[in-house]
Structure 1
């Protein structure tokens, strides 16, 4: 059974990654923030009494379901209000910067030239674009496995599919990202 501190620490540890994952899916920062907050509240309300080791998988499943619910609501709104452009606008400006949340070792940053820093920024931006361009299920599997560091079984349970499907989605995502980044002259 998770204590309040364990639950709080868990939620703090996943908030940024969950937000970024949601932004990749919905392409709207405000909606992504709402989805993450709703997911966190549902986890705390309904599953706060579960053991701490079960929280990551439960949270990923709740986050996926809240994201799907958001898409369903958007689809319903578009169907009901197709004449009103207010309901179809999506904010593409995106003020979220991955580099604000990725920390390089201090000695690397101090010795890094402006040219290197600019190139690193460009590479991160291009990687983000390519991840966002992946098909939804591939992106979801890729982010859970490599961003959230979940194992295949946890990812399959969170996505509601077989372990083989997770492996296939991840493999296709890695190949697509690798090909797209190589085409841009980026080798990692």
Structure 2
């Protein structure tokens, strides 16, 4: 599915092609069901932003724990609220990482003087699950995008949230979401065409 998202042209660009009606997601009966259903997608989102598996798992777990405090909220508010909480948690981890690496210790280096890459090169559960080269290429291309573009693309295209919900989750206007998404699509298209 992810490969299809990255390579198919936008349906709105082809006037001959009828637009597919968006699927209405089923409302979960409980917050626990909602969190169980969103866990894998949330991990992928966090991993794209943090580029470290353990930090991504921590961010998702923290966001889920915080969501338990909002179980009295209507189910319609859970989706934008969860993505907003997770996004803020990712930003917090990124800031703490920059502070820790930048102020408390010099940048770690190998014996040959090259910078240490802290990314986990081990098998990635999401890639093993999908088993496709397309996901790896899309993931690598997403990692090169600025954070706001990556968030807009992930929430609008991969998570299929509407513009208003994405804007609430990102804490910006609907116009900003559209701008970030447009720039992300252009950059991803260029990047993925280079890899063909």
TM-score (norm: length of structure 2): 0.76
Of residues 93-102 and 127-136 in structure 1, the stretch that sits farther from structure 2 once superposed is 93-102
Larger RCO, structures 1/2 (Cα 8 Å, 6+ apart): 2
Structure 2 counterparts to residues 35-184 of structure 1, below 5 A: 35-45=59-69, 47-83=70-106, 85=108, 90-102=118-130, 121-184=132-195
Please identify, of 75-84 and 149-158, the stretch whose mean Cα deviation from structure 2 is larger: 75-84
User: Which position in structure 1 is the counterpart of 2:12?
Assistant: none
Greater shift, 48-57 or 92-101, is seen at: 92-101
CA shift, 1:184, in A, is 1.9
Structure 1 residue runs of 5 or longer lacking an equivalent are 103-119
Aligned-pair Cα RMSD in Å: 2.2
C-alpha displacement of 1:100: 4.0
| Between structures 1 and 2, the one with greater helix share | 1
Looking at structure 2, the residues matched to 183 and 163 of structure 1 have their Cα atoms a distance apart, in angstroms, of 30
TM-score, normalized by length of structure 1?
A: 0.79
Secondary structure of the residue aligned to 1:92 is coil
In structure 1, the partner of 2:54 is 30
Structure 1 residue 124 displacement after superposition: 2.4
Give 5+ residue unaligned stretches, structure 2: 1-27, 110-115
* Poorly superposed stretches of 4+, deviation over 3 Å: 83-86, 97-102
Inter-partner Cα distance in structure 2 for 1:166 and 1:94: 34
Counterparts in 2 of 1:44 and 1:178: CA distance versus 1, 3 Å: same
Distance 1:81 1:170, change over 3 A: same
Cα offset, 1:84, TM superposition: 7.3
| Corresponding residue pairs, total | 163
